[in-house]
Chains A and B, each alone.
Chain A
Amino acid sequence: MKKLRFSKAALSVLPPLVILVCLLIGSNLRSSRFLSLAATTPTPGPTSGNVQVGFVTTITGVPPSGLQNVFLNVVAVRINPKPKPGAKNQGIPNENDPAWKSIPVPAGIGIGLNGKPGDLQIDMIAGQSKFQTFNTGPVRPNKYSSVEVLLDTAVPGTIVPQCPSGGGAIEGCIAYPMVLQSPGNQISFVAPSQITVAKNTLTQLPLQLNLQIVSKPTSPGAPYVVNVTTGPAPGNASQFLATVTGTVTGASGNATVKKIRHLEVAAELAGTNTIVATANVVNGSYTLFLPAAADLGSLYDFFVSGGEATYDAARGVPGGSGGLIFPGQSYTLNFAVTGGQQVATIGGQLTDSCTGMPLPGATLQMLMPPQGSSADCATSPADCVSIGFTTTDNGGKYPLPGTFQQPAYFNNVPVGPTYTIEASAPGYDNQIFQAQASGDNTGTNGGICQNSAAPPSCDFKLTTSYIQGTLSLTAAPAPSTSTTVQVFAEQAGTNNLVSALNIPLLFKPQQPTSATFSLNVPSQMSSFDLFASAADLFEGATDPYPGHSIVVQSNVSGPGQPCAVATMAFSTPMDCTGHGSIAGTVVNPDSGTTVELSKSGVKLMQAAVGPPTPAPSVGNTYSFCAPPDTYALQRLEQGSPAGPTVAMTAMATPAPTSSPCPSTCFNSGSNNTTCPGLCATTIQPPL
């Protein structure tokens, strides 16, 4: 009886306990799902099947003027084993079918709440000429039939049109929202042949996203109505991707020990620390699928890290033309490391040498010569491969913490060797120091550095200097508005941007139209080109392109020594000119062709040349949204000038208007009858 009574009473405890168990299991499931995505780039799980999703895009039904930006907000891609071949119902499973497996936006690119990812803005214009990797997700091995692309239903995307070329009713170079014509429809398809996902393999899922513009807005704030569909990418993945595979000898993977990275191979854009893809080493081998340009090929840096092993690095692949990879080709790249290393930390704090204040947001990277190179990374860092990077927190401390499964690179450094570390921050001189790992493999305390300000951590002071200047507007902002201006510095005569203001200038109504600024610039550069651009509002909404002119000042002398100050002044004020756009074509471009816009010799911005809007058949257009002014254009091939610099024809200037007002800015302060009217596109001769 006692047992029975106790059991009856215990029954009342069951429901909450069941809920508790469900919550814990649910939480853990979410945790494990996220763990596999916690890396900064796609990192397949070691034991599941993995699917790598990417997009190519098309845009149809475009209104008469072209498009400057089209972003589609993708939340996830889902696959479903239904319908089974031969099943009676060959339709797409419904939204709530439990068999859907989701590949969400990667962490860091979109961080959502409640287990939901954020959005990844897919560039629909750039996607017409290149394959854009979405993410790699672990999926249970199976054969999958249905594919669905999930958009953010509340904010599916934005469109920025160029200005009308022959006059028009709506403003260009501003952002318009996008709404789906049939928001309830699934964006999905049944694959013509099932997608097979096997254990420990990486399966490609290249998709085509089609955006059809049904109608255009009639006023600012009104939406573009669009239809979005998806299907298999034309051809297959080999049209866009190259395969790099090989072995890693000398160490085994280490997926189960907490605070140790799994042994992995990473591919990054050559000469950068921008990781494009990573692959775990499983049974001593790895496979990477990498986007590659069909005409010129693509160059990547590769490095092996993790698994309590030493590092190895390579620039390009052996046997390729200059190490380049091309789509549809397979390459073999082998590495050798030594396992069983003790790992520790290189950490510390970066501060400003002039103020002593911590430096938040600075970047540190470890450099290593690639295979076959004897480069001295201390003197020739550009010849070396970045084999790990981190950033400083708001107190200047590094490394930022990783996770149990993906510890910070700087917390998993083998003890013994001396590493070359490069520290950099915009506006500061790069500093290179030699370091050895020491201490624990967590936290920010560790490292043995010769010139550290506070051993045993590697604390360093970065040097900087200052350019103080003045900048003015032709008129104060109208009542209840303001104008924010950012000032940029680039190495004189180049497009090498090196600094921007930490605190943009703010102009308010009935206050002086001139302001002073102090810009950090590297002390080791002798001269700079400066330019300033406004962040305006257009009829109250944020404006992606300025309505004020961009002012420039070329060849400004720098102070030349740390903590020193040089002065300058922009010789012309920023005028309220309204929007403008420039469009043109390039003769026989390739994937390395860009067009550069400059003003008075100061390089302002570059535009890619590629599949155009509205006519996909042309394939050689470029465009800029820039306020009406006197500019020059330069064609570049892989970053180098090709042909002469061409002075632009005069740009169309929006006629002053009183309606709608206020628009982006004002010509004469509080006089709200003189704001710029609708903008226009200036067509340029072919380059």
Chain B
Amino acid sequence: MRRNTTPGRISSVALICTAGMLCLVFAACNNSVTGFGGFVGNTPPVPPSTTFKVLGNVGTPFTLTISNANASWIVPGNIPLNVTIVNNTTPCRMVATKLANDNTLMSLEIDNGGKIITAESTTAPFGLVSIQTGGTLQTIQPPANPDLRIYVNGPFGQRFQGLVEDSQVGFINNTRAPEAYLFDQPNGKVDGQFTQTQNFGSFSINMTYNASQGPHTGTDVVTTASGGPFVIIRQP
């Protein structure tokens, strides 16, 4: 009969509620173990995000121009680097020049929702590689303005879930560092939330912003963030 006492009912109900909440949490967090294009809050679902990857011999320098239907970005860096355009509009095209006078490998891959769409490689000194997706982008678009980027520089190989959002839309992806997010036409201030799904070390993240005309190379750091396993970086 104690079964029907108030404390007993409370404890049972509490545990059942906890169980239900855990189930809901896992259902909601199911995204953390899959590659997907998701949605945040009340924003509508979006297609799986497209990621461009520059891979090959680690440390090889390159410069790349990436353009979608709206804007273009210049991204200098070193292999490896993942590049994601947030709020993307296809088609997209990427032209990369390897900046090493040797026969090391530079490979460009386009990945959509975790599936590789296309890949091209070069081993030539200062080799030039171009790939595109989502149709034919006939011309490289003008430089992004404003040019807002978030670089997750490390730890090297760290797998994480990233949520990058402005005042209206949010994009989630599951990727590895180093990663560069290029925000196409942000509306209002941008923030990024990053959750490690492994523990390789502390995040090293910075945000760059430039609202002047002309091409930029993402070196105008306006704020940085570090730590882990969960880090938020907000546009000042």
Contact = CB atoms under 8 A, between A and B. Distances in A.
Contact of B129 (A9, A27, A109, A544): A544
Interface string A332-376: 000000000000000000000000011011110000000000000
B59 A389 contact: yes
B119 interface: yes
Contact of A502 (B76, B102, B131): B76
B47 interface: no
Interface in A106-157: 107-114, 116, 118-121, 123, 126, 152, 154-155
Contact of A1 (B3, B18, B128): B3
A71 B121 contact: yes
Given A13-B19, A73-B119, A502 B217 contact: yes
A9 B15 contact: yes
Interface string B117-135: 1111101111011111000
Given A38-B156, A158-B119, A400-B156, A109 B105 contact: yes
Interface string A371-396: 00000000000000000011101111
B132 A542 contact: yes
Nearest to B215: A503
Which secondary structure dominates chain B's binding surface? mixed
Interface in B207-236: 208, 215, 217-219, 221
A108 B62 contact: no
A589 interface: no
B180 interface: yes
Interface string B95-110: 1010111101101010
Nearest to B203: A401
B12 A401 contact: no
B121 A121 contact: yes
B153 interface: yes
Nearest to B132: A542
Nearest to A478: B138
Contacts of B33: 23, 26-27, 114
Nearest to B117: A155
B61 A425 contact: yes
Contacts of A51: none
Nearest to B79: A108
Nearest to B77: A361
A397 to B, nearest CB: 8
Size class of the B contact interface (CB-based, 8 Å)? 35 or more
B70 interface: no
Contacts of B153: 393-394, 400-401
Contact of A482 (B53, B131, B138): B138
A73 B116 contact: yes
B90 to A, nearest CB: 14
Which secondary structure dominates chain A's binding surface? loop
B155 interface: yes
B63 A395 contact: no
Interface string B180-203: 100000000000000001111110
A121 B107 contact: yes
B68 interface: no
A506 B35 CA distance: 35
Contacts of A537: 136, 138
B11 interface: yes
A488 B126 contact: yes
B108 to A, nearest CB: 9
B192 to A, nearest CB: 15
B202 to A, nearest CB: 7
A527 interface: no
A207 B220 CA distance: 48
B204 interface: yes
Contact of B53 (A13, A26, A111): A111
Given A393-B153, A496-B101, A363 B59 contact: yes
Nearest to A534: B128
A185 B178 CA distance: 35
A468 interface: no
Given A121-B105, A403-B201, A504-B95, A533 B128 contact: yes
B118 A155 contact: yes
B38 interface: no
B220 to A, nearest CB: 9
Given A107-B176, A484-B95, 19 more contacts: A2-B8, A5-B11, A26-B33, A40-B59, A107-B80, A109-B58, A113-B111, A113-B114, A126-B123, A155-B119, A391-B59, A394-B180, A395-B206, A396-B219, A402-B154, A426-B99, A500-B97, A501-B97, A542-B120
25 contacts: A5-B8, A6-B11, A12-B16, A23-B33, A26-B33, A30-B198, A111-B53, A113-B114, A113-B175, A119-B107, A120-B107, A361-B76, A391-B61, A394-B77, A400-B156, A401-B154, A401-B201, A403-B154, A404-B155, A426-B61, A482-B138, A497-B125, A501-B63, A503-B65, A503-B215
Minimum-distance CB pairs A-B, first 4: A401-B154, A16-B22, A482-B139, A540-B136
Interface of A: 1-2, 5-6, 8-10, 12-13, 15-17, 19-20, 23, 26-27, 30-31, 34-35, 37-38, 40-41, 71, 73, 107-114, 116, 118-121, 123, 126, 152, 154-155, 158, 175, 259, 272-274, 357-358, 360-363, 389-391, 393-396, 400-407, 425-426, 442, 480-482, 484, 486, 488, 495-498, 500-504, 506, 508, 533, 535, 537, 540-544, 605-606
Interface of B: 2-3, 8, 11-12, 15-16, 18-19, 22-23, 25-26, 33-35, 53, 55-59, 61-63, 65, 74, 76-80, 82, 93, 95, 97, 99-102, 104-105, 107, 109, 111, 114-121, 123-126, 128-132, 136, 138-140, 149, 151, 153-159, 174-176, 178, 180, 197-202, 204, 206, 208, 215, 217-219, 221
